[in-house]
Amino acid sequence: MKEVLRFAASRGIGDFRLIAVEQISIEDQLRDLCENPRCPSFASSINCPPYEMTPAQFRNHVQAFSQVLAFKFDFPVEAMREEGRNQAGRLLHETTAAIEHKAKAQGFERACGYSSGGCKNTLCFEHDECAALAEDGQCRHPDLARPSLSGMGVNWHKLSKTLGWSMIKNEAGEANPDAETVMMAGLVFLA
Ligand code: SF4
C-alpha cells in the first residue's frame, strides 16, 4: 500500500485519501440526471450511460472491495475552457489508469480505476464517434479510458464534503462565482 500511495503522491495530484468503500454513496437518481437534463456525454461512449454499469450493478460490484484510493486535481477555472478541459480530462484518465496499473503491480490484482466525466470528449474528441460503440468495435485507448463515476451514481458532493474537498457547483448544480478552481477526481478500488 505504501508504494501505491507514494506513486499517487508522485503524480502531481492535489490530494488523495485512502477511504472505506462504505464512504461512497451510489444513488440511482444521480444516474438519471445524465439523461434528463441530458449531459453532452450521455451515450457518447461505452464509459457513460446507458452503456456503463447502472448504479445497482456498481453497488454490487464494489462489495468485493474494502479500500479505495480517492484522489483529485484542482484546475484553475481559466484553464478549463474548451481544449484545456479536454486536456484536464485526459490527465485524469491517465492518472486513474496509472494508479490502477501500479496497484496491480503491487499485488492488488483486482484493482479497478474509475474516472469523472466521459472519455469521448477527452480521449477521442477529434473523432466523430466512440470506436467501441461501432459494431465489433474496440476502444482506441483501452489502457487509459475508464468509466465515469457520476454516470454510475456516485455522489461526489457527499464524498467531497466528507473529505473536505470543494466543488465548483453545489448540489443544485449552481456554480460558485467566486471559485478559483475546478475539482476533477477519480477512485481506484483496491483488492
Ligand atoms: S473509443 Fe474513445 S470514446 Fe470510445 S471508450 Fe474508447 S476512449 Fe472512450
Ligand 1: centre distance to CA 180 (Å): 30
Could you read off the pLDDT tens digit of each residue along the chain, which spans 191 residues?
Answer: 999 999 999 999 999 999 999 999 999 999 999 999 899 999 999 999 999 999 999 999 999 998 999 999 999 998 888 788 888 999 999 999 999 999 999 999 999 999 988 999 899 999 999 999 997 789 999 999 999 999 999 999 999 999 999 888 877 777 788 888 999 999 999 99
Nearest CA to ligand 1 atom 4: 130
Q: Can you tell me which residue has the cell 477512485? A: 187
Instruction: State whether the Cα torsion 11-13-15-19 is positive or negative.
Output: negative
Structural domain of 184: 2-190
Tell whether ligand 1 has an atom less than 6 A from the beta carbon of residue 185.
no
Cell numbers at residue 54, please?
447502472
- The domain total for the chain is 1
**DSSP element (H, E) containing 83:** helix 83-105
Tell whether ligand 1 has an atom less than 6 A from the beta carbon of residue 141.
yes
Ligand 1: centre distance to CA 48 (Å): 10
